[in-house]
Structure 1
């Protein structure tokens, strides 16, 4: 039986429709995949796969994301064995609701060979995406030894640092300040001498001094202004001072009753002929003064006038009754007054010039701080505190060969001692030492690197022992040693010794307790040593040590 033509036609139409439906499904699926991949995708590229030693090539990473996505690009000083010279700011290109983030890095390598830039992790909303890996060839710099004449390597020439004369300026400033201080001292002394000559002796006797002081008290008009307590306080002080000078009893330190009893005893012993009525009136004024000062009593105006007159009469009567010659009175008082005045004038001659010099020195320091900066003051005049070192900007650098990279508050200084550099052992190719501070400072660092010609000589334990002996040569005593293996979270391994020691302060002649930490690493044919010391009780110095240790990196040696 032959198939019907209509059957073939219907079957063909169904096949066509089925094929179109599948095509549309596939197109929709591809479109969906494309949309998803565009919403979050990573691409990477390099501008060159071959460079010369030390030349820079650029790595570019592009992230296509939405505006709400959170993207974290790779960060670090090394990508594999390739060094990151510069990490450029992120650039962005907007397209509707999409965003293309572009991150560039400048990379290099200082040894020839073939290196692999590994796949780097880019986080998008805490999900990890990987970049492509690239093979980078680092070529040697070709030197034409035929056309260009070659010479032997020249020896290291020690270059003297430019002469700095800041210390000379400091000496001149100190001399100037000393001259200003002496000039002020001389001027004040000369003026005081002139005044002393003009005044001669202001009071010939204690009674004249007391009467003059009572006149000064009346001119103040204290009780008329309502300051009755202050008036009676000064009135009785004048009387007590007079009694203490002429009768020689501790009038200023006695209560009113004690003073009156001591006065009666002295009157009887010294045969001072003063009436009992005068003494009784004086006692009444002292009692009134106590009531005013402690019971807040307020006498009437005529009572205050009577008390003043009573004190005047008492002082004059007592002075006349004392059995002594006028010459004795003048000599005693004149000598005492002279001594007091000389003490006061001496203090003025010393205090005023020192204050003046202090003000000028403060102005100079402020001027230097504004014009030269605080670093200049700390480096040359004030010095660095561990707190300021901890808070200031740090310096990251690599030192020696094989290089060790660390961050420190201040750049380390190279030791250029020719005796060390010119007397190296036969198996040592080169050695370098860098330092900051000394063993007596709040904080100090010593960093050494040694490169051997063939292989590392001796174990790291022996190196630690030599470093401990070096601490002893610096003056360390009573060294407590705790030695063991060292490994940090970054995988850096070596040997460590830490503990405490004491060192004698040459100024105070007392022992200072210090904390130390010694780290030793071995890399290829080289050894790196780091000695950190700080005062045991200095918390800021301990934090500095911790930050330095956390910053340690070893530059990898490519064989």
Structure 2
């Protein structure tokens, strides 16, 4: 008996000790809906004790808005730990914070419970003046200048590429002019001079006479050095006669066609220099190409010694250098422009997001829309509820709204896409001023004529009464048609489904159009029609 008494005393003592180490308080027992109040738990322990405070999103039915960090106060060899919570409730009523568990050295101690009253916010609808619901007002969409900034950025990047191209080209021409003294053969010198002449763009600047003078002088210098004829002092006719005789004597094998074309270029040059002739741009370019072809053809036909053939190898290296320079002055700017455009695209993707790019520039594929989160919304009056990949846009036409028939109270039209897209959704609701009974067949006929006016051709029509598993009834018309794309000039085959629902005082029309070869678009339409719900007039 004495042993049992000691055990009971020990348990009571332990309970008393732990109950003295935990204190819990609230700063308010009444709050308004959504207001925050604070629960504070204090634990007086030694520095060696391990304390774990309660955690969770809810304490009973009260939501924990914030769990604050633990504060500590030292008092000799003791330590006071303070844990604070911010709580609230969004429904009025009386709620209880239940006893919470605080674990001290693997032993559980419970806090006190508190009753909290949540008072509702009183709204006096008798003293507050009430107003009728206002009609829908069209608001202009704010101008988005982002696309303009993107366009200016692209133009600036292309401009940088062009400037870099001309900078590299100018530097290469200067280097080639400095290296001219190292030319190993007359043909190399002539071709480089022709390239430098093109780089100066004389005829593009209107200096056609100067261009033809230098063009013929380069040719004459070459003929003097390579063929060894007095080309600089001769007239064009004398030069041609001397050249023909020299070719025959030196057994230079060159076609008569090449010689005739060369003679024609020299004659054109004389007309420009002495008769102030003004050849067209393409004629100037053809004359330059003819001189290039003539010089290369005659140089290849000249009989050479082994030493001269070796020099030709050096000449070929120079030609490869010129080709390499051309690739460099084109490749470097293109690479830079591509890199800057890529950086710009990545920046837009990061700052604006992929949805912005797809919505404004790239567009959405039927497959991507099918897999995204859909939106259920209520449209028009009498209202129709449907789920769609994107919210339908209200189409407002003041002429129609201002000229409604006398028995029509209101009309609203909502739309996504167009007749030329992979798929489009058109929703039309009409409210009458009385209990007009609508002939659904006439509505179907009117809608099909409207589709034909929009560009639909070869329309096939099948009609039937419609009823879905939810008991929704109406009229259904479906079939196919073709439409001409004004950009690609190609004919696209489309399918359509038209659903018309009627009730006293109103009618709802749902038009679904999609490409007949797009399986994902078809799945979208099936999902749209299965989501349809009607708000009947009696429910208003």
Q: Give the structure-1-normalised TM-score.
A: 0.49
Which residue in the other structure is 1:22 paired with?
Answer: none
After superposition, residues 217-232 of structure 1 pair within 5 angstroms as none
Which residue in the other structure is 2:383 paired with?
Answer: 403
Partners of 2:409 and 2:431 within 8 A in 1: yes
Which residue in the other structure is 1:545 paired with?
Answer: 525
Which residue in the other structure is 1:477 paired with?
Answer: 457
Partners of 2:438 and 2:502 within 8 A in 1: no
Partners of 1:395 and 1:409 within 8 A in 2: yes
Which residue in the other structure is 2:477 paired with?
Answer: 497
Partners of 1:402 and 1:526 within 8 A in 2: yes
Which residue in the other structure is 1:381 paired with?
Answer: 361
Partners of 1:443 and 1:533 within 8 A in 2: yes
After superposition, residues 366-515 of structure 1 pair within 5 angstroms as 366-456=346-436, 458-515=438-495
Partners of 2:438 and 2:507 within 8 A in 1: no
CA–CA distance in 1 between the matches of 2:412 and 2:450? 16
Which residue in the other structure is 2:23 paired with?
Answer: none
Deviation at 1:204, TM superposition (A): 4.2
CA–CA distance in 1 between the matches of 2:487 and 2:152? 26
Alignment match of 1:163 (pick from 143, 148, 158): 143
CA–CA distance in 2 between the matches of 1:348 and 1:529? 63
CA–CA distance in 2 between the matches of 1:339 and 1:457? 87
CA–CA distance in 2 between the matches of 1:456 and 1:204? 99
Deviation at 1:156, TM superposition (A): 5.7
Residues 233-254 of structure 1, C-alpha deviation per residue, up to 9 Å, x if partnerless?
A: xxxxxxxxxxxxxxxxxxxxxx
Deviation at 1:175, TM superposition (A): 2.0
Which residue in the other structure is 1:293 paired with?
Answer: none
CA–CA distance in 1 between the matches of 2:124 and 2:326? 83
CA–CA distance in 1 between the matches of 2:363 and 2:155? 22
Partners of 1:447 and 1:531 within 8 A in 2: yes
CA–CA distance in 2 between the matches of 1:355 and 1:506? 35
Distance 1:465 1:181, change over 3 A: farther
Alignment match of 2:512 (pick from 519, 525, 532): 532
- SS of equivalent residue, structure 2 residue 350: helix
Partners of 1:206 and 1:329 within 8 A in 2: no
CA–CA distance in 2 between the matches of 1:417 and 1:393? 30
Partners of 1:206 and 1:333 within 8 A in 2: no
Distance 1:172 1:400, change over 3 A: same
Distance 1:420 1:468, change over 3 A: same
The runs of 5 or more residues in structure 1 that have no matched partner are 1-90, 93-105, 107-140, 209-269, 273-318
Deviation at 1:143, TM superposition (A): 8.2
CA–CA distance in 2 between the matches of 1:413 and 1:456? 28
Which residue in the other structure is 2:537 paired with?
Answer: 557
Distance 1:188 1:440, change over 3 A: farther
Residues 413-432 of structure 1, C-alpha deviation per residue, up to 9 Å, x if partnerless?
A: 10122112222111111110
Deviation at 1:329, TM superposition (A): 8.2
Deviation at 1:343, TM superposition (A): 5.7
Which residue in the other structure is 2:176 paired with?
Answer: 196
Distance 1:493 1:364, change over 3 A: same
Which residue in the other structure is 2:43 paired with?
Answer: none
CA–CA distance in 2 between the matches of 1:453 and 1:493? 23
Which residue in the other structure is 2:37 paired with?
Answer: none
Deviation at 1:331, TM superposition (A): 12
Residues 505-543 of structure 1, C-alpha deviation per residue, up to 9 Å, x if partnerless?
A: 112111111121111111221111111112221122111
Which residue in the other structure is 1:26 paired with?
Answer: none
CA–CA distance in 1 between the matches of 2:446 and 2:168? 63
Residues 206-237 of structure 1, C-alpha deviation per residue, up to 9 Å, x if partnerless?
A: 999xxxxxxxxxxxxxxxxxxxxxxxxxxxxx
Which residue in the other structure is 1:358 paired with?
Answer: 338
Deviation at 1:403, TM superposition (A): 0.8
CA–CA distance in 1 between the matches of 2:507 and 2:300? 97
Deviation at 1:555, TM superposition (A): 1.8
Distance 1:476 1:271, change over 3 A: same
Partners of 2:185 and 2:315 within 8 A in 1: no
After superposition, residues 60-209 of structure 1 pair within 5 angstroms as 157-200=137-180, 204=184
- SS of equivalent residue, structure 1 residue 544: helix
Partners of 1:477 and 1:503 within 8 A in 2: yes
- SS of equivalent residue, structure 1 residue 444: strand
Distance 1:402 1:163, change over 3 A: same
The runs of 5 or more residues in structure 2 that have no matched partner are 1-59, 62-90, 92-122, 189-249, 253-298
Instruction: Kindly indicate whether residue 486 of structure 2 is the aligned counterpart of residue 517 of structure 1.
Output: no
- SS of equivalent residue, structure 1 residue 547: helix
Residues 264-285 of structure 1, C-alpha deviation per residue, up to 9 Å, x if partnerless?
A: xxxxxx999xxxxxxxxxxxxx
Distance 1:207 1:150, change over 3 A: closer
